[in-house]
Amino acid sequence: MSPDTISIQLPDGSLRSVPRGSTPFDIATGISPRLAAAVVVARIRPLEASAAEGVAETEAAATEEAMYSGSVSSGQTARIVDLSAPLHEDVALELLKEADEAALKVVRHSAAHVMATAILELFPETKLGHGPATDSGFFYDVYRPTPFTEDDLTAIERRMHEVVARNEPFVREVESREKGLEDYTREGEFMKVHFIERFTAPGDEISLYRNGSFTDFCRGPHVPSTGRVKAFKVTSVAGAYWLGDEKNQQLQRIYGTAFFNAKDLDAHFKRLEEIKARDHRVLGKQLDLFSIQEVAGAGLIFWHPKGGLVRKIMEDWMRDECIRRGYDLVFTPHIMRRDLWKISGHEGFYGENMYPPMELDDAEYRLKPMNCPGHILIYKSSPRSYRDLPIRYAELGNVYRYERSGTMHGLLRVRGFTQDDAHVFCTPGQIEDEVIACIEFAQSVLQTFGFSDFKVELSTWDPAKPQDYTGSPENWRLAIESLKSALNRKGIPYKEIPGEAAFYGPKIDVKLVDILGRLWQLSTVQFDFNLPARFELEYTGEDGEKHSPVMVHRALFGSVERFFGVLIEHYAGAFPMWLAPVQVGIVPISEKHLEYAASVKARLEAAGLRVDLDARNEKMNAKIRELTLHKIPFVLVVGDKESASEQVSVRTRGKGDEGSVPLVTFLDRATALVKDHAMAL
């Protein structure tokens, strides 16, 4: 190979020889001009890096460090570069077109530059902070004493369209750090000065990206020109303190989002509307399911009668399943002596999440943040032998945890909640089967409640730092192996996250995927090497000697409150028959049909259905509308014809008027839906 050429390996494995200093754009043009027009950025990897090292990459602008530091951190073998970046060594090259996640981030960060350009053209007194891409768009932190109004945001967006229409190339320029600091200091750009000082070192060169007359300190990469930022919107503005310190200047964070095309942008806002329409806090009020009351305190849930009914169904199902699967149901107190929390270690490592102690006549007490010590005391209440194991204690236990004010969120983040908690005590030889049983139980919860998709994560330790963990390396290996082996035996794909385990044991997390594709962390199967040691738990083995049992914590709903919140959003409040608090609404056409309506209600209730008869002296259509708004699965209308022939006229949720059928036919249909836990309605 001549010193003036370099080798480029394309994704299909073919090699191309090109002049040293060629850019990805040159190479794309060499392949086809149409390709050159479609690519956004390039991903390169040194050719000597073996493929086995994977494609870990520096995500463009994912973090502040990544935004400003010029170097690629160690271990990262691939990185995203401008199409205009000259290549000086042999590389594997991927030309990223639209639809690539990494390319979208580059488009979004470029949109942030376009927005900064517009802001400075309209409001030249503004000082710039930083403008990274995010998972859903981008923002730019700016300093300007006058708050930006809605009209200002509209004007900024309009000016952005002009900047895009000008199709200014993004040009990378390099200058000395000292020159950059001098210029920014003179211009009063205190945030840029801070970022240069923090993320570069004396003697470094810094990179700037210029489009038209706007220049920004930035590592890049960027799209080739402003014209490539095609579909965007400025969405909102929020206050933030510089460096998160309230003694500092108040900044304004202007948010926007950008996509490859208008279709994706529209889909994004449709999805946001869909999420808003499913907000469990709004539906909880509208459907009268639950409330949170200022007078009682934040993060504390009041279950109204209809929400209470759903909860009863969830809890009954869970308790019955526990018994069917060999668990014992237990109940433990809400407050226990402070000394117990000292033995368990919660006083130390969990104290700041607990409510403060209360002084009673004999001792200090604390509200329980977890159920484990209670279950352990039951285990310890009599001697245990290997013949007693496994012991599985389950409780729908109310726990109280201190969450900072302002962090609470409906049913999802609360200060008091109910864990469907269980603790398994077993021998090391039993552990794998126990883990499998927990996984099967978790799958059954998801299927029963209507979730078909889930993701599993396995958090393990960092074996290089055994001092950070309690429990012997041998125990850790055994535990991790049992968890892996259980997942493999069930054929469940999982992602291992080394170093993510708690200090007391590895765990499996099951994250369900809801109808909008959102992930929710609910079920956990967690090993514990800490509590059995702290409480000196033991059992007599087959050898007649004392041994320490293996302890596993597991929760499947996670919390009943949180799971209910997820259910409300997943179903948009339209619960399937078996979960619906009211399953059937009855509307008599006039007062003279009241008697027949009441007899229909009695028949349905006798079959175990939950029925609401609207006997008010209101217009029929108004009643139907109201029952429909409450998302009741079936509304039955009864008039002369139905009364005379033992029929009901059926309106089905989502389908509308289905005409009259014999009452028995409807009864069979409705009870079958409940019995089967059917998802269809």
CA–CA–CA angle 228, 62, 515 (5° rounding): 85
Angle between helices 594-606 and 663-675 (to 10 degrees): 40
Nearest to 631 by CA among 670, 586, 585, 573: 573
Would residue 507 show up in a list of annotated catalytic residues for this protein?
yes
Give the E-state strand segments of 171-249 in sequence order: 171-176, 205-211, 214-217, 231-241
List beta partners, residue 209. 172, 216
Nearest to 94 by CA among 44, 34, 30: 44
Q: Identify which of residues 192 and 553 has a Cβ nearer to Zn ion in the complex.
A: 553
Q: In the numeric block, which tokens belong to residue 44?
A: 């390169």
List beta partners, residue 509. 457, 524
Q: In the numeric block, which tokens belong to residue 318?
A: 């869970």
CB of 211 to Zn ion, least distance (A): 10
From first CA to last CA, the distance across the chain in angstroms is 69
Tell me: does residue 396 bind Zn ion (CB under 5 A): no
Distance separating alpha carbons of residues 415 and 401, to the nearest angstrom: 5
Nearest to 2 by CA among 14, 15, 20: 20
CB of 395 to Zn ion, least distance (A): 10
Judged by DSSP in three states, 4 sits in coil
CB of 132 to Zn ion, least distance (A): 9
Q: Identify which of residues 257 and 647 has a Cβ nearer to Zn ion in the complex.
A: 257
**Which of the following is catalytic: 127, 401, 484, 562?**
401
CB of 127 to Zn ion, least distance (A): 17
Q: Are 36 and 28 in contact (CB under 8 A)?
A: yes
**Which of the following is catalytic: 100, 420, 421, 528?**
421
Q: How is 258-286 classified by DSSP, letter by letter?
A: EESSHHHHHHHHHHHHHHHHT-HHHHHHH
**Which of the following is catalytic: 216, 366, 419, 583?**
419
Q: Identify which of residues 218 and 635 has a Cβ nearer to Zn ion in the complex.
A: 218
Q: Identify which of residues 82 and 100 has a Cβ nearer to Zn ion in the complex.
A: 82
Q: Identify which of residues 372 and 582 has a Cβ nearer to Zn ion in the complex.
A: 372
**Token pair 């409300």: residue:** 568
Distance separating alpha carbons of residues 325 and 389, to the nearest angstrom: 14
Q: Identify which of residues 132 and 307 has a Cβ nearer to Zn ion in the complex.
A: 132
Would residue 372 show up in a list of annotated catalytic residues for this protein?
yes
Q: Are 626 and 632 in contact (CB under 8 A)?
A: no
With CB under 5 A as the rule, give the number of residues binding Zn ion.
3
Give the binding range for Zn ion (CB under 5 A) out of 161-169, 175-183, 196-204, 552-560. 552-560
**Which of the following is catalytic: 43, 105, 415, 423?**
423
Would residue 401 show up in a list of annotated catalytic residues for this protein?
yes
Give the binding range for Zn ion (CB under 5 A) out of 90-98, 121-129, 217-225, 294-302. 217-225
Question: DSSP alpha helices (H): ranges in 387-450?
Answer: 431-448
Give the binding range for Zn ion (CB under 5 A) out of 118-126, 274-282, 549-557, 612-620. 549-557
Nearest to 440 by CA among 477, 489, 484: 489
Distance separating alpha carbons of residues 381 and 375, to the nearest angstrom: 10
Q: Which of residues 17-36 bind Zn ion (CB under 5 A)?
A: none
Q: Identify which of residues 140 and 143 has a Cβ nearer to Zn ion in the complex.
A: 140
Beta strand 328-329 with 391-400 is parallel
CB of 616 to Zn ion, least distance (A): 49
CB of 41 to Zn ion, least distance (A): 12
**Which of the following is catalytic: 322, 372, 426, 438?**
372
Q: Which of residues 360-379 bind Zn ion (CB under 5 A)?
A: 372
Would residue 198 show up in a list of annotated catalytic residues for this protein?
no
Q: Identify which of residues 60 and 587 has a Cβ nearer to Zn ion in the complex.
A: 60
Judged by DSSP in three states, 613 sits in strand
Would residue 438 show up in a list of annotated catalytic residues for this protein?
no
**Which of the following is catalytic: 79, 228, 366, 507?**
507
Nearest to 559 by CA among 451, 411, 458, 408: 411
Show the binding pattern over residues 162-201: x = contacts Zn ion (CB under 5 A), - = does not: ----------------------------------------
Alpha carbon distances (Å) from 564 to 242, 290, 362, 558: 38, 10, 39, 10
Would residue 419 show up in a list of annotated catalytic residues for this protein?
yes
Q: In the numeric block, which tokens belong to residue 628?
A: 């429909």
Nearest to 415 by CA among 405, 407, 403: 403
Which of 96, 114, 142, 218 binds Zn ion (CB under 5 A)? It is: 218
CB of 60 to Zn ion, least distance (A): 9
CB of 206 to Zn ion, least distance (A): 12
Q: How is 68-119 classified by DSSP, letter by letter?
A: H--SPPTT--EEEE-TTPPP-S-EEEEEEETT-HHHHHHHHHHHHHHHHHHH
Q: Half-sphere exposure of 560 toward its Cβ, with a 13 Å CA cutoff?
A: 28
CB of 113 to Zn ion, least distance (A): 5
Would residue 334 show up in a list of annotated catalytic residues for this protein?
no
Which of 553, 562, 623, 651 binds Zn ion (CB under 5 A)? It is: 553
CB of 131 to Zn ion, least distance (A): 7
List beta partners, residue 175. 206
CB of 319 to Zn ion, least distance (A): 18
Q: Identify which of residues 217 and 454 has a Cβ nearer to Zn ion in the complex.
A: 217
Q: Identify which of residues 372 and 584 has a Cβ nearer to Zn ion in the complex.
A: 372
Q: Identify which of residues 206 and 667 has a Cβ nearer to Zn ion in the complex.
A: 206
- Residues serving a catalytic function are 372, 401, 419, 421, 423, 507, 553
Which positions touch Zn ion (CB under 5 A)? 218, 372, 553
